[in-house]
Structures are given as structure tokens and as C-alpha cells.
Amino acid sequence: MKDFSRKVVLIIIVVFAQSSLGTNAILLEGHNLGQNGYVKYSNGLLIQWGYNSGSTIQNLRVNLPIAFYNSSYIVTGNVKKASSDSNVYATCPTSLYTTYFYIDRNFASPSGPGTTSGAFFWTAIGRWK
């Protein structure tokens, strides 16, 4: 009976090891953890991020580290500002392409609205396959 129990346990371990429990895991396909980087997953998810030092151009072009599958991705941004700055900022993507996007960086202040030339951080999430 002891040998039979050991065989049953061994069979269960082999079945468990060969089961699909571990085959549906989402794996890392590639990454670049730099200032302008990305993480690419086996299920097709792509997360990219970056920093732009700013520009006086109102509708600024931002190049992506790697291409998205299509232009159906999400972009968010945050303007970097001084702690003494009381303006309210908004970053608005205006056009999305697979390898770059355009973004406006606007502000509102007591003296009126405008376009900021300040630095900003951005994040984009979409598909790579």
C-alpha cells in the first residue's frame, strides 16, 4: 500500500507539472527601463513612457521608443512645475500615430489661459501585436 501511495503522489505531481496552470502566464517580451522606455508583454500589451524637456511649439511631436500595432492607444501626460507655481496644467494628445503622437500642453492662470513650454512626462498604453 505504501508503494501505491507513493506512485499516486508521483503521478499527481507529474500531471500537475505538465498541466496548463503555468502555460497561460503573461511573459515579458522585451523592455527598456530608461528615461524614455517601454515594457512589452507576451499578450500584446505595451506600456511606454518618457520625458520631454519642453518646447515653445504648441502642438509638439513626441516620438515613441517603439511602434504600437495601431493608433488605438491611450496617452496621458503631466507637466513638471515648480512648487510655487499656482497655474493649472493640462496635457491633451491631439493626433496619434503608431510611432509618435502630438500633444498640447496648456495652462490656466488668474491672468488667463496659455500654452506652456515647460517639461512634461508622458505615458502611453496600447498593443504591440
pLDDT in tens, 39-74: 999 999 999 999 999 888 889 999 999 999 999 999
Task: Please state the rounded mean pLDDT for residues 13-34.
Answer: 75
Residues 20-40 as b or e (16 or more Cβ within 10 Å = b): eeeeeeeeeeeeeeeeeebeb
Question: Where does residue 119 rank: exposed (0-12), middle (13-18), buried (19+ CB within 10 A)?
Answer: middle
Question: Where does residue 124 rank: exposed (0-12), middle (13-18), buried (19+ CB within 10 A)?
Answer: buried
pLDDT tens digits, one per residue of 71-125:
999 999 999 988 888 899 999 999 999 999 999 999 999 899 988 888 999 999 9
CA dist., res. 113 & res. 107, Å (int) = 6
**Position 63: which residue type?**
N
Whether residue 20 has pLDDT greater than 60:
no
